[in-house]
Structure 1
């Protein structure tokens, strides 16, 4: 096998020219190593039978590479030679187009099915050497956040849950049927230093949509946190808009997913393991929406 590997290595410069020629004159070819091949390499470290099988396949691959070089040198069209090599290698060389007259006609590469993607996911889950940092959805979430929303998340992470109030009709009629006048009034925009404070309700809706925050029906344990909120002009205007009105105290929290997102993406690496204020988690009967 050592001699075969040496011969294969000697053929590589010529194969480089072949590959360059194929790339120049044809399109739609992708020579790739499947992730499953790397999984085999990982298993071979601890499995003697897998290691022997992998060595055997490697020897066959070297033989196929040598045959590819000889076929092209003898005048076989590059497209046909690559197809034959791909079939011999069992899929290591994959065409992404049709071969017509020895040339590759480009076509769209087949997307993996949902089941194939699921199996690949489970394969990665069994890889004990894999060192993933952060949820794979974090990259997409960053693309869907406004800068002010990042400020709100940092406020929630560093200072804890925030007070929120609803204003409803009260008095005798409010006992039987209370009507909502204004909801979700907070000081979050000012406290977070948002540039567009008027957009805070939309920001909170988006953060809720992304699973980063949730809205609790319960108030914070410290009633003093509501004094400044209830003195704000928008709260006072809602209270004075009807004859009888009442304030209902609520709170806004990071979800566990949101707290993990903040630690992974929004704070310095040295501060990721710092101790931050705790947030409640949704319980049975809790409100998970802004309303």
Structure 2
């Protein structure tokens, strides 16, 4: 069953035809970061922000991710109003947070809640790299831990999409404590029989990769995602060796047994919906 699930034939958008040179309003077009071809933003959006030419996965924000996965009008957000303080009196931290709230429309770097995917109820968390680079502060850790606890109490599976530069430096050791907090919540959830699915997107690094991102019953990733703890340059300087070109990519991690599968974004809803049906008590996928 799983072999068929992961080998499902993919249907990608066709390559667009050449456009004549005309005056184009600013913001209408977007250049692919990988192959440098130019597309209409709407075309990329309709293709889930995946390049129709080379398959490069551009980032999705939290609500784009939710809209791409959940059944219409089924998602209910949790803990929306939680906002971090400035526990270490870090200079200009409040101003930077307010700027990110204004820019993203989010109060923090993670959105949590519950909804249905192909009719299957699940708890959910998705990180947004636009907000402080998706860094893990005390509120991010608290929201994720609360979501896991609610999933346990309501007997729901838990799915998380990670995208983070690591622990948030402005909160010092308080941000590092979130690694333990979330890991303990996952341990309690797992011992109660809960199902956790983790999907690592670009980038998933630092304390996030070393804690809750890697603790799923299924650990997946999107193609080309950067996944690792320390940076490439630091590792090369430490071990005094040149690392492979694909080091810390999702494909490298899969080849070395750190992931269960790399899943194209267009297949994600099908895979998650099927897994939820497989693990439903007494349920079988149709």
Q: What is the TM-score normalised by the length of structure 2?
A: 0.19
Larger helix proportion, structure 1 or 2? Answer: 1
Q: Tell me which structure has the larger Cα radius of gyration.
A: 1
Higher relative contact order (CA 8 A, sep 6+): 1
